[in-house]
Structure 1
Amino acid sequence: MTSSLDLAALLCSRLCHDLLSPVGAINNGLELLAEEKDPEMRQRCIELLEQSARVSADKLKFFRLAFGAAGGFGEMVPTDEPRALIGALVAANERLQLDWAVPLGSLPKPAVKVLLNLAAIGMDALVRGGVLAVAAEMRDTAKGKVTEIAMRASGPRVAFDEAIGRALDGTLAASELSGRTAPAHMVHLLVAQEGGSLQVAHAPDALVVGVTLPAPDGLIG
């Protein structure tokens, strides 16, 4: 079994990996700016610095809520927040399009974390671009109210690592976990902790992950 400390270390590795490129671009841009004398090229360097800084900030905000304690310590998180975070990362890649279908004003925090991590998995799978569709709703069942979350990544080539699939369903050995598979393992742990269920379907042109979580006791709406 993976300890909380091990998982935290792996999630930090994933965060560092994702920030390495934009932060490196900022460093390179500053070096070029210090040497460049042409006004037009200096302006171009400044634009690239602004773009890289924006991407870095967007990723930090995303992972702060996906992995950490952002959103406060209450049970519910306004859905405008995850929508803005996912939208910012999608907007940074001109080959991606976001289809957001979450009519609810807020979601339980575990559901938001699951939603964000599934969205990240979907974006990683769309190596040649495509549509990232994210949906969530609450409905009543015989066992009580549940939150249903669905992520669909569709495009000309959807790359889905088998290890991520095994991390999602809990069959990946602790010794095989890495920064790449840690977010999927976190989703598995969240779903198991909440007493929910998870299903995955993968085809060459689509990846679909569905999660059902029991809603918190006393939740209205």
Structure 2
Amino acid sequence: MTTAIDLDKLDLAALLCSRVCHDVISPVGAIVNGLEVLDDEDDPAMKAFALDLIAKSAKQASARLQFARLAFGAAGSAGAQIDTGDAEKVARGFIEDDRTSLEWQVPRVLAPKNKVKLLLNLLIVATSTIPRGGRIAVEATGEGEEGGFRLRTEGSHSRIPPHLVGLLAGEAPEGGALDAHAIQPHYTGLLGRATGYGFNLAHEGEAVTILVERA
């Protein structure tokens, strides 16, 4: 028997903040380490290494914050629309690296805020299905505001993580407690229900497909 997640607004806000901090703390910590090297080292090679580390980490931290602003933040007043071109830009900055590529086939339009937030959060869900990296392809399905999305990931050791389907459906994981990792798919499910979309996940070979359609 499944149990519905019962989470008050304060706990939801706290866990989402923890999730954002978790994503940003690593590159910010690397910047601090790089600055310490600049202070302590006289070796030109080490200083060059530190400057490169600071530059790359600052870029990564900025990309993650820009993504979080759209995926989790208010991004404008209630009922606002978001340019899917802006969503693509922050998605590429957040996801693409030497292990993971993103193929974006979503037309550039002004779309309802929560629908764009749903798409960005689904991209985070998609990354969890390819823990060793790979390819993520996202495309729009259907027409206009009633249309949905199809996300397909391919990579070695692809999987549908335990409890993911249940968390998307609003079901509590075994033990009932949510942490900063579990809150993200739960929040994605909240966005899906708020916008009238349901999810269908399938795993075949090294590919996982996430189909997002009107419930």
Q: TM-score, normalised by structure 2?
A: 0.88
Partners in 2 of 1:167 and 1:33 — Cα distance? Answer: 44
CA contact 2:37–2:46 (8 Å) conserved in 1: no
Please give the per-residue CA displacement for 1:157-209, whole angstroms capped at 9, x wherever unaligned: 21432122210122225933221111111121122122322212234512222
**Which one of 28, 53, 67 corresponds to residue 23 of structure 1?**
28
2:155 paired residue number: 155
Does residue 99 of structure 1 match 2:103? Answer: yes
**Is the deviation greater in 111-120 or in 73-82?**
73-82
1:120 paired residue number: 124
How far did 1:125 drift?
Answer: 2.7
- 1:1-221 aligned within 5 A: 1-71=6-76, 73-91=78-96, 93-139=97-143, 146-173=146-173, 175-203=176-204, 205-213=206-214
Aligned structure 1 segments of 4 or more residues deviating by more than 4 angstroms? 71-74
Q: SS of 2:147's equivalent?
A: strand
**Is the deviation greater in 61-70 or in 171-180?**
171-180
**Is the deviation greater in 52-61 or in 164-173?**
164-173
How far did 1:109 drift?
Answer: 1.1
Partners in 1 of 2:205 and 2:167 — Cα distance? Answer: 20
How far did 1:124 drift?
Answer: 3.0
CA contact 1:158–1:203 (8 Å) conserved in 2: no
Matched to 1:185, the amino acid is H
CA contact 2:130–2:155 (8 Å) conserved in 1: yes
How far did 1:138 drift?
Answer: 4.5
Partners in 2 of 1:164 and 1:95 — Cα distance? Answer: 23
Q: Provide the identity percentage.
A: 36
How far did 1:147 drift?
Answer: 2.5
Please give the per-residue CA displacement for 1:5-37, whole angstroms capped at 9, x wherever unaligned: 111111111111111211111111111111111
Partners in 1 of 2:18 and 2:205 — Cα distance? Answer: 28
Matched to 1:97, the amino acid is S
Residue correspondences, number: 209
Q: Residues 23, 16 of structure 1: CA spacing in aligned structure 2 closer, same or farther, 3 A cutoff?
A: same
Q: TM-score, normalised by structure 1?
A: 0.86
Matched to 2:150, the amino acid is A
CA contact 1:157–1:204 (8 Å) conserved in 2: no
Where do 5+ consecutive residues of structure 1 fail to align? 215-221
